[in-house]
Amino acid sequence: MRMIKWTVIFTAMLRTLSVQADYRTEETKILALAELTDAPVVRNEKEQIVSIGAGELKTIYFDALIYEGKPTRVYAWIGIPEDASSSHKVPGTVLIHGGGGTAFKEWVEKWNARGYAAISIAVEGQIDERDSGKPGDNRRNRWKKHPWPGPTRTGIYGDSDKPIEEQWMYHAVADAILANSLLRSLPQVDSAKVGLMGISWGGIIASTVIGIDDRFAFAIPTYGCGNMSQAANQYGRALGNNALYKEVWDPVLRLKKVETPTLWLSWPGDQHFPLDKQASCYRTVSGPYMVCLIPGMRHGHQAGMKPPDSYAFADSVVKEGKPWARQISSETENGQFTVIFESSRPLDEAILISTTDTGITGNRKWFESPANLKRKADQWVVTATQPEGTTACFMNVKSGGLTLTSDYTKIE
């Protein structure tokens, strides 16, 4: 009996070590994507190799990884401001869409208007032309596929049973890194000032990529974040028992080493990515970060592109070397919530946003209360009385049309 018992224990230990070894293998392969530093070959739809000049806004394909033994390419819109040159280099931004999206021309135009070179990539083998599908198929956001696609997203990490090199997230991360290498290689672009922005699933990709590729000057994960296996929604249901996600793919696993300045952009009513899961990510990063939670923002590509906060954040990093503001401290004592900020911009007004509900943050009712804003030397002190029964809160401070948000605070 004793021999049988120890045999069972030893077998279990071997299985555990085998699983851990497999995870180490997968992790090694993911981290190796950081080596994709050479600019990929750029082609047009006729498969001709092309160059990219100043003042251009056009569609391109660039070579990506092998998938199921076949070469793949990434469709993208890319634009360079007219005044950019080898003697007047401009900053740049890699842009990643979310579910149902594609490479958006207007997103590139918005960043070009701000003086940035930009590349918006499609990460599911699609172009930006609508596909009506079969008769009777009324699904929205269908895009035509090009001839060189990689994998498409299958639910929420629904392809975790496949080899890592055949998983969609692996290729999406590689596509973002290759887009970075491409943009940085252009003579009109300042390679030290290329940032990254992703919306929804693009935010998950961005949160993942910055833990692998440390060359980005800034990153703006919008809505999407890590630590989603613990979320009390569809993500938690899909990922709660997904060991590969929790041990390998969860962005929070690598955020501790991230020194890239980050802006975490979202809104209180987001039902996909809870505020506490987002907070667990920005509290993990080693670099400076800002939070921006805009009431009524909604969830979507247009909503994610619209706020001026992402562009102002990028400007402050590439021009001043750091985010334009940061939270220094926050505390709650006897129902009084106090937050201290440092800001290079004047702050105009402050509002306490709080809830007395529990459960997923996107399903709660949030209330606005007046807050007191005072400047003391180089700091700004914001105080407010929390409504009785407050379960969570944060402070929003305005600077013109910009929103500066304190860390999400859960009241025990």
Task: Read off the pLDDT of residues 57-67 as tens digits, 9 standing for 90 and up.
Answer: 999 999 999 99
| Cα separation, 2 vs 20, whole angstroms | 27
CB contact at 8 A, 105 and 211: no
pLDDT beyond 50 at 276: yes
Closest residue by Cα to residue 221 from 235, 240, 204: 204
Residue 21, pLDDT > 90, answer no
User: What pLDDT does 275 receive?
Assistant: 98
CA distance 171 to 307: 29
User: Which region among 1-10, 85-94, 101-110, 177-186 has the lowest average model confidence (pLDDT)?
Assistant: 1-10
* Residues ≥6 apart with Cβ < 8 Å to 328: 340, 341, 342, 379
The CA distances from residue 182 to 60, 73, 187, 220, in Å, are 12, 13, 11, 19
The rounded percent of the chain whose pLDDT value lies above 70 is 93
What is this structure's pTM? 0.93
What would the pLDDT profile of 249-275 be if each residue is shown by its tens digit? 999 999 999 999 999 999 999 999 999
Structural domains present in the chain = 34-323 (3.40.50.1820), 328-410 (2.60.40)
Q: Which residues contact 359 (CB under 8 A, 6 or more apart)?
A: 232
Mean pLDDT of the chain: 93
- Percent of the chain clearing pLDDT 90 (strictly above): 91
At 3, list the tokens. Answer: 């021999």
Host H or E run for residue 173: helix 168-185
DSSP per-residue string spanning 363-411: GS--EEEE-EEEEETTEEEEEEEPPTT--EEEEEEEETTEEEEPPPEE-
Q: Determine the Cα–Cα distance for residues 177 and 216; give it in Å rounded to an integer.
A: 10
Token pair recorded at residue 324: 């334009």
Helix (H, G, I), strand (E, B) or coil at 244: helix
Q: What is the pLDDT of residues 152-170, one digit of tens each?
A: 999 999 999 999 999 999 9
Least confident of 53-57, 64-68, 309-313: 53-57
Supply the pLDDT for residue 135: 52
Q: Return the closest-CA partner of residue 383 out of 340, 329, 325.
A: 340
Secondary structure percentages of the chain, helix, strand, coil, to 5: 30, 30, 40
φ and ψ at residue 142, rounded to 5 degrees = -90, 130
Confidence of residue 22 (pLDDT cuts 50, 70, 90): confident
pLDDT tens digit sequence for 220-235:
999 999 999 999 999 9
Write down the pLDDT at residue 336. 97
Q: How confident is the model at residue 372 (pLDDT cuts 50, 70, 90)?
A: very high
User: 131 falls in which pLDDT band (50, 70, 90)?
Assistant: confident
Asked if the model's pLDDT at residue 120 lies above 60, the reply is: yes
pLDDT (mean) for 360-376: 97
What pLDDT was estimated at residue 412? 80
Task: State the pLDDT at residue 224.
Answer: 98
Residue 140's pLDDT band (boundaries 50, 70, 90)? low
d(CA 31, CA 97): 22
Residue 191: predicted pLDDT: 98
Question: Strand 336-343's sheet: what is its strand order?
Answer: 325-333, 336-343, 379-385, 372-376
Whether residue 14 has pLDDT greater than 60 = no
Amino acid 42: pLDDT = 98
